[in-house]
Amino acid sequence: MKIFNTLSRRKEEFVPLEPGKVKMYVCGPTVYNYIHIGNARPMIVFDTVRRYFEYKGYEVNFVSNFTDVDDKIINKALEEGVDASVISERFIAECKKDMAGLNVKPATTHPQATKEIEGMLAMIHTLIEKGHAYVAGDGTVYFRTESFPEYGKLSHKNLDELQSGFREIKVTGEEGKEDPNDFVLWKPKKEGEPYWESPWCEGRPGWHIECSVMAKRYLGDEIDIHAGGEDLIFPHHENEIAQSECANGKPFAKYWMHNGFLNIDNKKMSKSLGNFFTVREISEKYDLQVLRFFMLSAHYRSPLNFSADLMEASKNGLERIRTAVGKLAELQQKAQAAAGQAAAGNAAGDGAQAAAQSAGAGKASMTAAEQENVAAAKDLVAKYEAAMDDDFNTADAVSAIFELVKLSNSTADENSSPAYVSYLKDTIEKLCDVMGIVTEVKHEALDSEIEAMIQARQEARKAKNYALADEIRGKLSAMGIILEDTREGVKWKRA
Ligand code: AMP
Ligand code: ZN
């Protein structure tokens, strides 16, 4: 498997630190609002990376944080007159709902910054001890970038260049810095902000330190993959490398993966420009699987433009796959029913078995032509795997799935052997599942369908066909519908 490593700027062969295991950390969202579809891109992309590793037999320890202490959270809490934790807990819960809708698997661990303060204090302490950090007059602790000659290795920036760029910029409140490139590890509290005790001042952590600490605690000093959106390369990930490598004395992450941006109207999607959609808004118009399918239709490192047309195209593409799988499921059911009939016929010694066999259902094994088609399907599976092995090229992997769908549509029918039908169905479902694409549509009964069933039950009762009325009631009950016979008629509700 090859992965494009931002650190070396080239594709490298993936060699895990420990055979058969992948330790992976993905920077998660700051929780002060519903997540937008830009935030959903790294979630979908790296969930797919995780699923593919699992498909290849790796055991993946996947850690993704929630940043739950930040200016934006504090401001929102002040606006609402509540504690910052009320805001962050609310939006963590909402984010988890969106993740479930997008079929993003929960991480092995979802740590939260505010619950990891102890580890942050310890790492900051180590950095001060080793001379990589210093305390300014007001109690702010800064990382000393000059103490780490490799600073800039991820973003390919040179420290001198950075310094000259910063020379003119003086940030108020940061006068205590030795060097403009230095960054905050710990800062004093401001009025009304959440704060923690520390040896340096009552205050709160800088943003970058949380990820170094959580990665260390849940994955260890050295990890295989660290990932996030490309906007995080500098300064966030650059700073994480500096903190972790200086504190632990070991290389931090072996492979750095970054997803491209999701744009709207070819412009950067941003909350300040107001051109963004939340995942929740999209879920009101589309099945969120369409959004997931849309995200995977492009390579993860390419910029991706969100548009109604592309979403429509994704919706149609997804439907094409689902229709094919639905047809295969139907053929499978028919084959099973026919096999049952054949068995019964066999016992009775009549012609039913012959009839079932002529329909293809009784054939235990595949025909030669089917075997040839299976060989072609296996080539497509290999094509899918080659695409995914090549830096997770989901766009080409999706094309391989479409080719399988085409093969299925043109070769599977009532005359196919059950083995062939099952092979196609299982293969398409498996490859879709690796991408987190659900092929089976859960059919939620519509109000009109339920009302029609209730009407049928009433008619059965009128005709004194109580057995049928009970049967309908049973079906409704299995669907989670509770009936209540009242004076005004039958009322119903979902359980
Ligand atoms: P934030 O809450 O801003 O820290 O973002 C959480 C994750 O979403 C980070 O990995 C960001 O890089 C990523 N992200 C934010 N906006 C976009 C976007 N428009 N396109 C792709 N990724 C994004
Ligand atoms: Zn991070």
* 314 Cβ inside 6 Å of ligand 1: no
Q: How far apart are the first and last CA of the chain?
A: 48
> Which residue of 30, 33, 37, 39 sits with most ligand 1 atoms within 8 Å of its CB, as the best mutation to test the pocket?
39
Ligand 1 atom with the smallest distance to the CA of 276 is 19
Residue 220 in this model has a pLDDT that exceeds 90: yes
Residue 183 and residue 171 share a domain = yes
Amino acid at 263: N
pLDDT digits (tens, 9 = 90+) for 124-141: 999 999 999 999 999 999
Residue 343 and residue 223 share a domain = no
Residue 353 in this model has a pLDDT that exceeds 60: no
Taking the centre of ligand 2 as the mean of its atom positions, its distance from the CA of residue 26, in whole angstroms, is 7
* 101 Cβ inside 6 Å of ligand 1: no
The mean pLDDT value for 136-152 works out to 96
Residue 263 and residue 240 share a domain = yes
More confident residue, 447 or 128: 128
Cβ burial 391-420 (10 Å sphere, 16+ → b, else e): bbbbeebbbbbebbbebbeebbeeebbbbb
Residue 314 and residue 299 share a domain = no
Domain hosting 317: range is 310-434
pLDDT digits (tens, 9 = 90+) for 255-314: 999 999 999 988 888 777 888 999 999 999 999 999 999 999 999 999 999 999 999 999
Residue 457 and residue 411 share a domain = no
The mean pLDDT value for 349-374 works out to 68
Residue 455 and residue 422 share a domain = no
Residue 437 in this model has a pLDDT that exceeds 70: yes
Number of domains observed in the structure of the chain: 3
The mean pLDDT value for 459-485 works out to 84
The mean pLDDT value for 422-426 works out to 97
Residue 295 and residue 315 share a domain = no
Residue 336 in this model has a pLDDT that exceeds 70: yes
The mean pLDDT value for 418-427 works out to 96
- 74: in domain: yes
Residue 48 in this model has a pLDDT that exceeds 60: yes
* 99 Cβ inside 6 Å of ligand 1: no
- Rounded to two decimals, the pTM is 0.87
Taking the centre of ligand 1 as the mean of its atom positions, its distance from the CA of residue 268, in whole angstroms, is 11
Candidate from 187-196, 232-241, 413-422, 447-456 with smallest mean pLDDT: 447-456
Q: How confident is the model at residue 481 (pLDDT cuts 50, 70, 90)?
A: confident
Taking the centre of ligand 1 as the mean of its atom positions, its distance from the CA of residue 269, in whole angstroms, is 10
